[in-house]
Amino acid sequence: MQKKSKPQRNSIQESERPIGVFDSGIGGLTVFKSLRALMPEEDMIYFGDTAHLPYGSKSKASIVQFSVEIARFLCQQGIKALVVACNTSSAVALSEIKKAVSVPVEGVIVPGARACARMASRRIGVIGTERTVRSGAYAKEIKKILPEVRVLQAACPLFVPLVEEGWWNYKVTEDVARIYLKPFQKARVDSLVLGCTHYPVIRSVISRVMGKKVSLIDSGEETAREFQKILESLNLRKKKGRGWSRFYASDDPDRFLRLSRRFLGSKITVKQVLKKNFE
Ligand code: DGL
């Protein structure tokens, strides 16, 4: 049996350690941004697995392998807790990640389902990657809380490359959205879960297509709120100061750098970690 990765111990107090966040690419920055807004004093390390993007079309075995390797790498950087910002990883690899590391781990599916419960929706739509939709993870969690509700799911695989290309407000993106979202319009859903971290980046396009009456649920915002409570309950909140952020990408960081600066609206530096360094 493989040993659990423990965070590096030294004299730094546990609560002073950084938070780890990862996704397959820049999408998880939507969760990062929510965490940063809620907890400006926390130090954060973000990992974008750009060498393996997209996760959504990969097998469960590959996603588990990549996710566990990244979780271990982040533990080696001394994190105190981990946010699995990727919906696809959260849907198929969360239990394996939890087994592999000894820090608290939070995924995005259960918080997203809880956010649905608050909307008093009768017909809920879920969009995500092929792997997330095939896992049925959102439908399962939503039905645990709201057994009567109708859940309609569909994969929108072209959204991820459009977001990674930076085509956030292009006509082609809206055209693609009109095709993918038609079944949800027909079914008259009243809430739509953005079940992939990349989708909140094109939220305005999705909202334009679905109309103002449909509530768009961003699991990332809810995850940030729940994660904050978890840190508080475990006495792991950093008390003061201004948090730093460190970014890693597993492939050439240029595109990641360009898009993340545009998305975060601030200058950042990204370090490339070669796969052999985090296996
Ligand atoms: N952003 C990821 C998610 O939340 C997956 C995108 C991909 O790599 O396919 O599911």
pLDDT in tens, 253-271: 888 998 898 889 888 889 9
Provide the residue ranges of all domains of the chain, joining segments of one domain with +. 12-107+222-278, 110-219
pLDDT at 169: 93
Cβ of 53 closer than 6 Å to ligand 1, yes or no, is yes
Per-residue pLDDT tens over the stretch 110-157: 999 999 888 878 899 999 999 999 999 999 999 999 999 999 999 999
**Helix axes of 219-233 and 109-117: crossing angle, nearest 10 degrees:** 110
Q: Which of 160, 194, 219 to mutate to test the pocket of ligand 1 (most atoms within 8 A of CB)?
A: 160
Cβ of 24 closer than 6 Å to ligand 1, yes or no, is yes
Residue 176 in this model has a pLDDT that exceeds 50: yes
Q: Kind of pairing, strands 150-155 and 123-128?
A: parallel
What the block records as the tokens of 236 is 């792991």
Closest of 11, 5, 14, 4 to residue 74, by C-alpha: 5
Would you give the distance in Å from CA 213 to the centre of its chain? Answer: 25
Residue 272, C-beta contacts closer than 8 angstroms, at least 6 positions apart: 248, 249, 250, 251, 252, 253
* Catalytic status, residue 75: no
Beta bridge partners of 249: 48, 272
pLDDT at 276: 62
Residue 9 in this model has a pLDDT that exceeds 90: no
Q: Quote the Cα angle for 212-215-219, to 5°.
A: 140
pLDDT at 279: 58
Q: Give me ligand 1 centre to Cα 95, in Å.
A: 18
Residue 10 in this model has a pLDDT that exceeds 90: no
pLDDT at 117: 84
Q: How far apart are CA 134 and CA 130, in angstroms?
A: 6
Per-residue pLDDT tens over the stretch 104-120: 999 999 999 999 888 87
Q: How far apart are CA 99 and CA 74, in angstroms?
A: 15
Q: How far apart are CA 218 and CA 203, in angstroms?
A: 9
12-107+222-278 under CATH 3.40.50.1860, yes or no: yes
Residue 2 in this model has a pLDDT that exceeds 70: no
Would you give the distance in Å from CA 207 to the centre of its chain? Answer: 20
> Which H or E element spans position 70?
helix 60-76
Matching CATH topology for 12-107+222-278 and 110-219? Answer: yes
pLDDT at 262: 87
pLDDT at 239: 84
Catalytic residue selected from 75, 86, 116, 156: 86
What CATH fold (topology level) applies to the domain 110-219?
Rossmann fold (3.40.50)
Buried b (16+ CB within 10 A) or exposed e, 10-46: eeeeeeebbbbbbbbbbbbbbbbbbbbeebeebbbbb
Range with top average pLDDT, 7-21, 118-132, 172-186 = 172-186
Q: Give me ligand 1 centre to Cα 143, in Å.
A: 23
